Structure 1
Amino acid sequence: MDNSGVTFALWSWARAQTASGSEVCVLHAPAANSTKEISFVSKESSPGLSHHDVPHRGRHRLTLRPVALDRYLGRNDLLVLHEGWVPGNLVAAAAACRARVPYVVMPHGVYESAWTTYLKPPRWLRHRLERRLLERAAAVHVFFESEIADVAALAPNASFITVPTGFHLPNERWTGGGGYLGWLGRIDPFHKGLDALVGAIARLPADQRPMLRIRGYDYRNGIARLRDLIEKLDMAKWVRLDGVIAGAEKTRFLQQAEGYIHPSRWECHSIALLENLALGVPCIVSKAIHIAQTLERWSAAVLAQPSEAGLAAALPRLAADRAVAPRGRALVSDAFNWKTLMPQFHSAIGRLGLQ
């Protein structure tokens, strides 16, 4: 299991379900298939929570398929499949059907119309297989109601439950003082809006440009593309691009930033953004992502269009509206509290007859 926001969410749900009284086993491909060097996801077992290597065929994530998954499933189980568009989910769903075990799909945003532009052909066949997967599921578990339209366009007869991933409020608090704005995650310049963010900073007068520090891991040569853009716009003085960060070092990086910027052109439910909100870091957030509506209701972030002009207009507002910081922390404490969310989840699956 590689490190990612999805993996963090997977383990967060597993721990929250265990804490609420369920017995959970995380089934995954052997660790040899994991490639990230730094682990920022705790994968330790605990009472009621275990994990098990399942033999797989295939050479990498997009071709891996579980072998004989049926033998790991019992009649009283519920199988949860994460993400989508991978043959492993199709094979796992077929195994669940053979074992007469219901399954739920938690897509983590991979059915968004913008995301599907990444799909390799033949798309018509992949759409047909994915529709079958989703419509045979007991439910598709989305995090926000606004996700449903894209999934329903692909699978009109799918059923849905809506409960977001929660986050534990840390003892640590935002301090600022580092003299930079932060960003953290998977470095995909277009998807994550990093190209627009660098362009936005370039639009500002030189004496008004903030220092931006980007920390994360490469995706499809995104680091090289972003470095080329930084060089092209002559922004090396204001934009610093570093590697993966985890643990206490990551917490300090977020705490000491003057603010956090989340300029994604689309996004399901960012764990990095939740982490910053929970610390009380003042945030600029793209209006295009699903959590934006919630943030607007709570006045918990400075919202901006994920464009050069939109972000350039928002950057000066962040320093002037520090009140968003405590409201962001309060939002996480209330709307993304596992103690609130797990009863919602159990009620939702109960309505589907899965308890």
Structure 2
Amino acid sequence: MDRPLKIVKVIPYPLPVLRFGGPVVQAQVVCRELAARGHEVRVLTTDIDLPADMPRDQWIENDGYSICYTSTSPHHRIPPYYTPGIHRTLREILQETDVVQTNIGLTLTNNMVRKLTKRAGVPYVYNAEGALCPTRMQIKPLQKKLFRYCYENRIVREAAVCQAVSQYEQDTLLAWGIPPQRIAVIPNGFSLPPSDSREAKQAVRHQLGYADDDVVILFMGRISQIKGIDLLLSAFERISDEFPKVQMIIAGPDEGVQATLQQFVQKHGLEKRVRFPGIIDGEEKTNALRAADIFALTSHSEGLPNAVIEGLGYGLAMLLTHRCNVPEVADYNAGCVIEAQVDPIEMALRSLLEDTERRSQCQQNARRLAVEHFALDKVVDGLESLYYRIAKHHGR
């Protein structure tokens, strides 16, 4: 039997800070599962938005793994996340490390990892978390083109393996010139909840103020322009009179567009039917997922959205755009996958709301898709196998 591995994850987003969305949630569940399997897992990150009472610059225990929150200066807390404080700590632990996992593309932190691991002879796995998507590369295109030329090409090229969380991300890496044998397609994973009985689901809905015959649509993610929430609300406004029992939750951290979205909701008299609860976590998040019927993400660009996987795990019918990069939803008939435009979103909403039998079938298929493709144990099996393979190849 192979010995337990010594794994280091480097990520600029501190794990308790939920405004950074899916990458933080995914890092938490994966590190916890790897530690539960007996591996020694260490996480090196920053103190961006970290509570003042959280210890800095020391190793602390968290869910079976160790984490070090590195002190940062204000100008280190913005992209491209140059984090010199991580340098010393990472250098100190590399000689006793088998493999390093980097998360989030287009960061100077990854360039630091590249240099230090190369000197120490330690392999690293690169995961861009959707940052290399051509749509996202068109945001501040000149800066990103320069960053790619100066740093990112070497970071990607020198990785032992590039992890792609979706087929679309694999295609992106291939377009960057990465040979297929150095790309591992391993999706994000989720600890599947037990299935709710109808009575339990209705009890949660009553607790949140919804009636038995309400249909609840849930958006969960960063409230930013790239998420296409304006398209979703425009489509919802068009069908709101026809489907008066439909309600909507738009949950997540505001990245500057929520006020505009709320103005749209008020203008069309939908403020009693559209809720903006902000960041939700713990029981509040669980209850929202349990109460919902449909999960909607009408995004212009994603890697592999963690919130979608959670929605699948709770058996929610899906309303996604193609750029969510979950084509399995269409393969499994777990919902609608459409273009990021108001007309097709409206048509998809109608199809899921008019046909309750179809919606119910989509919900069952969503849960089946989560079990067969995104269950956390299967995902971590893939990561574990990958780490063992490259550690052996590099003589660790």
Give the alignment's TM-score, normalised by structure 1: 0.87
In the alignment, does 2:139 pair up with 1:118? yes
Displacement, 1:218? 1.1
Letter in 2 for 1:311: I
Displacement, 1:45? 2.1
Question: Contact 1:199–1:233 (CA<8 Å) still a contact in 2?
Answer: no
Question: Contact 1:75–1:99 (CA<8 Å) still a contact in 2?
Answer: no
Counterpart pick for 1:67 among 87, 99, 114: 87
**Residue in structure 2 matched with residue 18 of structure 1 by the alignment:** 35
Query: What is the SS of the residue equivalent to 1:206?
Result: coil
Separation in 1, partners of 2:96, 2:143: 35
Question: Contact 2:297–2:324 (CA<8 Å) still a contact in 1?
Answer: no
Letter in 1 for 2:290: Q
Displacement, 1:304? 2.8
Query: What is the SS of the residue equivalent to 2:227?
Result: coil
Letter in 1 for 2:334: A
Unaligned runs of 5+ in 1: 38-42
Question: Contact 1:131–1:155 (CA<8 Å) still a contact in 2?
Answer: no
Q: How does 1:1-355 map to 2 (within 5 A)?
A: 1=14, 2-3=17-18, 4-29=21-46, 31=47, 33-34=48-49, 45-47=62-64, 49-56=65-72, 58-62=75-79, 63-65=81-83, 66-68=86-88, 69-119=90-140, 121-128=142-149, 129-156=151-178, 159-171=182-194, 173=196, 175=201, 177=205, 178=210, 179=214, 180-188=216-224, 190-204=225-239, 206-208=241-243, 210-219=246-255, 221-231=256-266, 235-291=270-326, 293-319=327-353, 320=355, 321=358, 322-352=360-390, 353=393
**Residue in structure 2 matched with residue 40 of structure 1 by the alignment:** none
Separation in 1, partners of 2:297, 2:51: 23
Separation in 1, partners of 2:343, 2:252: 25
Letter in 2 for 1:67: H
Question: Contact 2:318–2:329 (CA<8 Å) still a contact in 1?
Answer: no
Count of aligned residue pairs for this structure pair: 344
Query: What is the SS of the residue equivalent to 1:168?
Result: coil
Displacement, 1:56? 4.6
Question: Contact 2:189–2:374 (CA<8 Å) still a contact in 1?
Answer: yes
Displacement, 1:70? 0.9
Please report the RMSD computed on the Cα atoms of aligned residues, expressed in angstroms: 2.6
Question: Contact 1:300–1:325 (CA<8 Å) still a contact in 2?
Answer: yes
Q: Which moved more, 1:193-202 or 1:334-343?
A: 334-343
Question: Contact 1:127–1:154 (CA<8 Å) still a contact in 2?
Answer: no
Separation in 1, partners of 2:143, 2:286: 43
Instruction: From the superposition, tell whether residues 244 and 114 of structure 1 become closer, same or farther in structure 2 (CA, over 3 Å).
Output: same
Q: Which moved more, 1:74-83 or 1:230-239?
A: 230-239
Instruction: From the superposition, tell whether residues 53 and 211 of structure 1 become closer, same or farther in structure 2 (CA, over 3 Å).
Output: closer
Displacement, 1:186? 0.5
Displacement, 1:94? 1.4
Instruction: From the superposition, tell whether residues 147 and 59 of structure 1 become closer, same or farther in structure 2 (CA, over 3 Å).
Output: closer
Displacement, 1:308? 0.6
Displacement, 1:338? 2.9
Unaligned runs of 5+ in 2: 1-13, 53-59
Instruction: From the superposition, tell whether residues 299 and 207 of structure 1 become closer, same or farther in structure 2 (CA, over 3 Å).
Output: closer
Question: Contact 1:185–1:215 (CA<8 Å) still a contact in 2?
Answer: yes
Deviations 1:92-120 (A, max 9, x none): 22122222211111111111001112336
Displacement, 1:35? 5.2
Separation in 2, partners of 1:277, 1:36: 32
Displacement, 1:166? 1.4
Query: What is the SS of the residue equivalent to 1:13?
Result: helix
Deviations 1:219-272 (A, max 9, x none): 2x1212323443555543543323111111221122112322121122221121
Query: What is the SS of the residue equivalent to 2:307?
Result: helix
Separation in 1, partners of 2:299, 2:130: 13
Deviations 1:54-82 (A, max 9, x none): 45554414234123231121254211111
Letter in 1 for 2:114: A
Question: Contact 1:27–1:51 (CA<8 Å) still a contact in 2?
Answer: yes
Deviations 1:301-328 (A, max 9, x none): 2333221111110112223221111211
Deviations 1:144-181 (A, max 9, x none): 22212223333546821111121111125372653332
Question: Contact 2:189–2:379 (CA<8 Å) still a contact in 1?
Answer: yes
